[in-house]
Amino acid sequence: MAVERRAVNPWTWQDQFGFVQANEVKGIERVLICSGQTAMSADGQPQHPGDMRAQVALALDNLETVLREAGLDWSNVVRLNHYTTDMDAFFQAADVLGSRLGGIQAASTVLGVTRLAFPELMIEMEAMAVA
């Protein structure tokens, strides 16, 4: 049985932000639950202090690497959460997200936080993917 996904949207306002209120998923054989990905280098060093756009891009790169290592891609993502220390800068960099996600509409939460694991980090993204 192939994985079936149905967006559950009682409203339409979320469409302009590129997410859905919920994803109903059937026919799942496996679930990948990803730890939060940030703007860290391959050797675990924070990158791009003060540059939200560059941090979003690198966090997406890192999340994509985890997905690929599991044999998945963005089309498998059903939930994508964002934690940011600067909500305004995050929304100003939202086009980076839109251009990378290939039109997926994951269930999503954006939370403003005081700080992340390393003080230089401004964004952390966690995902759930199914296949």
Residue 120 lies in a domain: yes
Residue 6 lies in a domain: no
Q: Give the number of C-alpha atoms closer than 13 A to the C-alpha of residue 110, restricted to the C-beta side.
A: 17
Residue 22 lies in a domain: no
Residue 91 lies in a domain: yes
- pLDDT at res. 4: 92
CATH code assigned at 52: 3.30.1330.40
Residue 73 lies in a domain: yes
- pLDDT at res. 3: 87
Domain that holds residue 98: 31-130
Q: What is the DSSP string of 50-107?
A: T-HHHHHHHHHHHHHHHHHHTT--GGGEEEEEEEES-HHHHHHTHHHHHHHTTT---E
- pLDDT at res. 92: 97
pLDDT band at 43 (very low <50, low <70, confident <90, very high): very high
- pLDDT at res. 74: 96
Residue 16 has pLDDT above 80, yes or no: yes
- Number of structural domains the chain divides into: 1
- pLDDT at res. 2: 84
The pTM for the full model equals 0.92
